[in-house]
């Protein structure tokens, strides 16, 4: 079993599902011969041919709408948007149609499409290539939002997303595409959607995160352990619908919670988790819930982006502050 | 300098404003039975439309978009399609959907504010109405791509209005249809108005049909008050889609003999007298005069048909009014294939507390 990167796990999942399900179609800009700007679809054209691996004209709303039409007609399209910052022209299609067609037709039609996009900063890319706006989608009834953080979870969650009967916005942390390798068995086994993954068990504080910042959060937990602070780390993975029960159970145990995400703070998914902890977990809390997030700024260009991205230092500092309570 | 490309936009009409045959009638129109079928459906559409507006005015219907004046567009189009073709409407095509087997009472139910009006019996041949303007054109090309991948020889007929042709989605759909050679017919029901904005303020292009040229396929104009022309040209375009995998843009010229919807008041922007002037071309009288001229129709038959349609509409309305509102929790029922557990609390809250009036 070979060790593969997160982006290779994406390719592996796509190839596996295309092999077993002839309804799976991959479409997007530069995804066929070029294999995608991050090479997430490399090799698929040779294996599955131009009918199923389709370079589209350059129009993102069209990519969204095409995928919806294909899905209504019974295909399982996996549409790639080159960067999350370029998904916005397709918001109308995703919000007004993908998320609603099942409801609109009382179940007569559905939209089993996956809308993939790399997200996040830290890769020294130009403007619009560093977005982390998952909260936009998390607000929309009828959608699923899934954000993997490791090769194994990228593989298992993408398989689950393609097999899911409803539309999934699948956001891949570009910063982690080639960061680490992991053994991922190409056995077609999906991981469950709609549940958090507890990556590290601890007793003093719960660190809740997802996607790109799982890396920093795990590193912070390791450093905190050296200080004698035992941190539990939860990878939310499915941002919507959000498995609050796992988070609540953890916070009931630890009494403290720090939520870590890359997107801007105001209206971020962390705000919703924090609100739910206030509604349902207040009695467990020994200290106020903290958020470690991106600033409420435009993500700066390459020279300053490292100052935007939350680091281990920010996470540790937030934990240390709340450890002083009680 | 040399000319590297030149294009022409044809215009089709078989029955002119005076109900005279222009040129040779297409084959289907030589059999009066076919024309009588179209005529009856157009009359039924107009009677139903008047009733729907009356229902709205008396609080028994939500906002409703009239089909008055556009009967030839919608009925000609419906007749041009084969049952296995896929129909992608915008939101005004009640007559076409009736031809396609959708219960008229369901269509009233939709405009009466009930999602179940979209729950058509026939599985995936008719899409539901698409309210965001022009967005449905992209679903049509997605479906057409699926048909092509599966080697299914059906056509996709996508409809929009003249206003929608300003939308990016409309261009994006035509562009990909051209480059992928998709079996789709784009029908633009050019009723001259996008709510209050006239066709002249929508585009500087001389025709909407010519927009197909930029996408690499042919476009044409059709007299939308001539049901024979609409039926013939869309049938030809659909056949071209099925047999040659070639898209076509058919711009159907008609006139909106109504407000945009019942929530609109066209007297605020529509020049006085224009509607009356356009009424001289209207499609039902045009076909009736022709049918009378070939002795295929009589005043007695007309009177009988009016009564028949009125009775039919009474039945449709009774069926519509007989549908009681769904359970409040229905709003959760089709959000996902299976409602995720985390929404159980909200579901229970709705079930127990109900709405502001319930």
Residue (of A59, A116, A109, A70) closest to B170 by Cα position: A59
Measured CA to CA, the distance from residue A28 to residue A116 in angstroms comes to 10
Q: Which of B68, B242, B260, B286 is catalytic?
A: B260
Tens of pLDDT, residues A139-164: 999 999 999 999 999 999 999 999 99
Probe site for chain B from A49, A60, A62 (most B CB atoms < 10 A): A62
**Shortest CA gap A183–chain B (Å):** 31
Mutation for testing the A interface, residue in B97, B156, B175, B334 having most A CBs under 10 Å: B334
The pLDDT, as a whole number, for residue B356 is 62
Question: Cβ of B341 under 8 Å from any chain A Cβ?
Answer: yes
Residue in B86, B176, B343 nearest the CB of A241: B343
Phi, psi angle pair for B21, to nearest 5°: -70, 130
Residues in chain A closer than 8 A to B179 (CB atoms):
57
- Copy the structure tokens of residue B208: 């909407």
Nearest to B124 among A52, A67, A72 (CB): A72
Domains of chain B (ranges plus CATH)? 11-326 (3.40.50.970), 327-358 (no CATH)
What's the CA gap between A112 and B255, in Å, rounded? 39
Check A109 against B142: CB less than 8 A apart.
no
- Sort strands A182-183 and A3-4 into parallel, antiparallel or unpaired: antiparallel
- pLDDT the model gives residue B358: 46
* Residue B172 at interface with chain A, using a CB cutoff of 8 Å: yes
Q: What number of CA atoms fall less than 13 Å from residue A174's CA on the CB side? A: 23
pLDDT at residue A4 tops 60:
yes
Per 3-state DSSP, chain A is made up of helix, strand and coil in percentages (nearest 5) of: 40, 20, 40
Q: How far is B62 from chain A (nearest CA, A)?
A: 17
Residue B150 in contact with residue A25, Cβ under 8 Å? Answer: no
**Residue A230: what are its φ and ψ, rounded to 5°?**
-95, 110
Q: How far apart are CA A233 and CA B312, in angstroms?
A: 66
Domains of chain A by start residue, with CATH? 3-183 (3.40.50.970), 197-323 (3.40.50.920)
Nearest residue to B21 via CA among B297, B293, B296: B293
Helix (H) or strand (E) holding B117: none
Conformational region of residue A117, where left means phi above 0, alpha means psi within -120 to 50, and beta covers everything else: beta
Out of A70, A92, A242, closest to residue B135 by CB:
A92
pTM: 0.96
Q: Looking at the partner chain, which of A62, A93, A165 has a beta carbon nearest the beta carbon of B337?
A: A165
What is the radius of gyration, based on Cα positions, of chain A? 19
Q: Which two tokens stand for residue B114?
A: 């009930």
Is residue B187 a contact partner of residue B159, using CB atoms and an 8 Å limit?
yes
Known catalytic residue at B260: yes
Give the per-residue pLDDT at B123.
64
Query: Do residue A244 and residue B140 have CB atoms under 8 angstroms apart?
Result: no
Nearest-angstrom CA–CA distance, B158 and B141: 9
Contacts with B341 from chain A: Cβ below 8 Å: 194, 245
CB atoms within 10 A of CB A104: 24
Average pLDDT over residues A282-310: 96
Question: Which among A182, A177, A134, A185 has a CA at the least distance from the CA of A156?
Answer: A185
Whether A261 is catalytic is no
Q: Identify whether B39 is a catalytic site residue.
A: no
Query: Cβ–Cβ of A67/B135 closer than 8 Å?
Result: no
- Per-residue pLDDT tens for A65-94? 999 999 999 999 999 999 999 999 999 999
Phi and psi, residue B22, nearest 5°: -105, 120
Listed as ranges, residues in chain B with pLDDT below 70 are 122-123, 355-358
Angle of helix B32-57 versus helix B71-80 axis, rounded to 10 = 130
CB-CB contact of A104 with B128 (8 Å):
yes
Q: Chain B closest CA to A66's CA: distance in Å?
A: 4
Q: How many CA atoms lie within 13 A of A287 on its CB side?
A: 19
Cβ neighbours of B68 (radius 10 Å):
18
Closest CA to A319 of A247, A238, A244, A228: A228
What pLDDT score does B121 carry? 74
Q: How far apart are CA A264 and CA A133, in angstroms?
A: 8
Chain B residue numbers with beta carbons less than 8 Å from the beta carbon of A141 are 335
Q: What is the pLDDT of residues A199-241, one digit of tens each?
A: 999 999 999 999 999 999 999 999 999 999 999 999 999 999 9
The catalytically annotated residue of B46, B68, B233, B256 is B256
- Contact by Cβ (8 Å): A237, A210: yes
């Amino acid at each position: 079993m070979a060790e593969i990167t997160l982006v290779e796990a994406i390719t592996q999942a796509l190839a596996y599902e295309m092999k077993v399900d002839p309804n799976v179609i991959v479409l997007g800009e530069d995804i066929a011969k070029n294999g995608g700007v991050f090479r997430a679809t490399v090799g698929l054209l040779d294996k599955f041919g131009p009918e199923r691996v389709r370079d589209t004209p350059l129009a993102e709303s069209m990519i969204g709408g095409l995928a919806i039409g294909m899905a209504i007609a019974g295909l399982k399209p996996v549409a790639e948007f080159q960067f999350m910052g370029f998904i916005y022209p397709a918001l109308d299609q995703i919000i007004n149609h993908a998320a609603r067609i099942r409801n609109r037709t009382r179940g007569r039609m559905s939209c089993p499409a996956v809308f993939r996009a790399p997200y996040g900063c830290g890769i020294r890319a130009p403007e619009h290539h560093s977005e982390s706006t998952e909260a936009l989608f998390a607000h929309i009834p009828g959608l699923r939002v899934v954000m993997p953080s490791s090769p194994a979870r990228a593989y298992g969650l993408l398989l689950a997303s393609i097999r899911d009967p409803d539309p999934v916005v699948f956001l891949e942390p570009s910063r982690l595409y080639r960061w680490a390798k992991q053994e991922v068995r190409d056995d077609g086994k999906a991981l469950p959607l709609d549940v958090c993954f507890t990556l590290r068990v601890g007793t003093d504080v719960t660190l809740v995160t997802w996607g790109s910042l799982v890396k920093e959060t795990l590193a912070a937990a390791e450093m905190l352990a050296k200080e004698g602070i035992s941190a539990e780390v939860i990878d939310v993975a499915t941002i919507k619908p959000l498995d609050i029960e796992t988070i609540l159970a953890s916070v009931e145990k630890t009494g403290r919670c720090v939520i870590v995400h890359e997107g801007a703070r105001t209206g971020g998914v962390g705000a919703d988790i924090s609100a739910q902890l206030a509604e349902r977990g207040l009695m467990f809390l020994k200290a106020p819930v903290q958020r470690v997030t991106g600033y409420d700024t435009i993500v700066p260009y390459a020279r300053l982006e490292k100052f935007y991205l939350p680091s281990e230092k920010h996470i540790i500092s937030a934990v240390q502050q709340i450890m002083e309570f009680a | 300098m040399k000319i590297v490309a030149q294009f022409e936009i044809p215009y089709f009409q078989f029955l002119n404003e005076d109900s005279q045959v222009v040129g040779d009638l297409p084959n289907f129109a030589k059999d009066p039975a076919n024309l009588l079928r179209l005529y009856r459906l157009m009359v039924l559409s107009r009677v139903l439309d008047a009733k729907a507006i009356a229902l709205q005015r008396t609080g028994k219907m939500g906002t409703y978009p009239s089909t008055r004046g556009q009967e030839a567009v919608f009925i000609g189009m419906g007749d041009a399609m084969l049952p296995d073709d896929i129909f992608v409407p915008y939101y005004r095509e009640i007559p076409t959907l009736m031809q396609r087997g959708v219960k008229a009472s369901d269509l009233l139910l939709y405009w009466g504010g009930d999602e179940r009006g979209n729950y058509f019996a026939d599985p995936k041949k008719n899409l539901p109405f698409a309210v965001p303007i022009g967005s449905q054109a992209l679903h049509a090309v997605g479906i057409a791509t699926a048909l092509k991948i599966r080697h299914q020889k059906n056509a996709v007929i996508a409809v929009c209005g003249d206003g929608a042709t300003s939308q990016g989605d409309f261009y994006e759909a035509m562009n990909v249809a051209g480059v992928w050679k998709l079996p789709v017919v784009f029908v633009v029901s050019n009723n001259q108005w996008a709510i209050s904005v006239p066709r002249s303020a929508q585009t500087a292009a001389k025709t909407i049909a010519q927009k197909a040229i930029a996408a690499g396929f042919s476009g044409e104009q059709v007299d939308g008050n001539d049901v024979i022309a609409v039926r013939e040209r869309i049938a030809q375009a659909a056949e071209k889609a099925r047999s040659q995998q070639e898209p076509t843009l058919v711009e159907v010229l008609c006139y909106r003999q109504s407000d945009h919807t019942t929530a609109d008041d066209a007297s605020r922007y529509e020049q006085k007298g224009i509607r009356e002037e356009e009424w001289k071309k209207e499609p039902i009288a045009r076909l009736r005069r022709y049918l009378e001229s070939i002795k295929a129709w009589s005043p007695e038959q007309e009177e009988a048909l009016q009564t028949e349609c009125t009775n039919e509409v009474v039945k449709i309305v009774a069926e519509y009014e007989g549908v009681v509102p769904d359970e409040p929790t229905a709003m959760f029922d089709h959000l996902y294939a299976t409602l995720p557990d985390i929404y159980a609390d909200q579901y229970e809250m709705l079930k127990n507390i109900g709405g502001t009036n319930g």
